[in-house]
Chains A and B, each alone.
Chain A
Amino acid sequence: KAGVTQTPRYLIKTRGQQVTLSCSPISGHRSVSWYQQTPGQGLQFLFEYFSETQRNKGNFPGRFSGRQFSNSRSEMNVSTLELGDSALYLCASSLEGDSNNSPLHFGNGTRLTVT
């Protein structure tokens, strides 16, 4: 079974631009969540989607948005990029995402650098 696939692996953008990251979950997984990882703040939850609906959202500004398609694939968008948005963005999928024993399976991440 293929794992979680994130594209692209690396991105370099300049301040003020916008960026879209893509995530394809494990086949059959309907929950997709996104995390930001930085050396200063560690791993922080961005949002979670299930059946095309956002069920939970972390403490990030509105510049961070996402969506999920009917095939469970998800995209994350960051508008008006700031230097502080430089991070590893990790996508994770799970079967239904709302039980405490369902592990999240992560992709390799997209490393975003904002200059």
Chain B
Amino acid sequence: AQKITQTQPGMFVQEKEAVTLDCTYDTSDQSYGLFWYKQPSSGEMIFLIYQGSYDEQNATEGRYSLNFQKARKSANLVISASQLGDSAMYFCAMRGVNTGFQKLVFGTGTRLLVSP
């Protein structure tokens, strides 16, 4: 079975600082994908970044980067230069061959609060 663990229920960061949100995963799949989503209070889940299990380079998308350490089974999200609009819940998720790739397994989320 696949499992995602996010150990930080809440994180605080000042505007313009960088912040790292932790994510570890457990899977027996060789091929899998890791995703980060942002959920503002409005409820919509916004896709941020993707990392494939065979990708050698860490994924980056603008201010978001994914620190992928395969041997440690971790996929931490790094947000550089935090903005007030980054305040939201952040979910790490994965999908893999054992679930037919059709199902995303989510972690419990980290609530990020960015202060001025």
Residues in chain A within 8 A of chain B (CB atoms): 31, 33, 35, 42-43, 45, 48, 50, 55-56, 58, 88, 90, 92, 97-109, 111
| B interface residues, tally (CB under 8 Å) | 30
Chain A nearest Cβ from B82, distance in angstroms: 23
Between A and B, 21 residue pairs with Cβ closer than 8 Å are A31-B102, A33-B103, A33-B104, A35-B104, A42-B107, A43-B106, A50-B102, A55-B100, A56-B103, A97-B101, A100-B53, A100-B95, A100-B101, A101-B33, A104-B35, A104-B45, A104-B104, A106-B47, A107-B44, A108-B43, A109-B43
**Interface bits B43-73 vs A (CB < 8 Å: 1, else 0):** 1111100101100000000000000000000
Q: Does B97 contact A (CB under 8 A)?
A: yes
Q: Which 10 A-B residue pairings sit nearest by Cβ, starting from the closest? A: A100-B33, A106-B45, A43-B106, A56-B102, A48-B102, A109-B43, A108-B44, A103-B47, A45-B103, A98-B101
A-contact 0/1 string along B83-116, CB 8 Å cutoff = 0000000010101110111111111110000000
Question: Given A48-B103, A56-B103, A98-B101, do A42 and B109 touch, yes or no (CB 8 Å)?
Answer: yes
Determine whether the beta carbon of A58 is less than 8 Å from that of B103.
Answer: yes
Binding site for A on B (CB under 8 A): 31-33, 35, 37, 42-47, 50, 52-53, 91, 93, 95-97, 99-109
Give every chain B residue within 8 A of A92 (Cβ-Cβ). Answer: 45, 104
Across the two chains, which residue of chain A brings its CB closest to B100?
A56
Main secondary structure of the interface of A (DSSP, over half): strand
Measured CB to CB, the closest approach of chain B to A86, in angstroms, equals: 14
Q: A42-B109, A48-B103 are in contact. Are A100 and B32 (CB under 8 A)?
A: yes
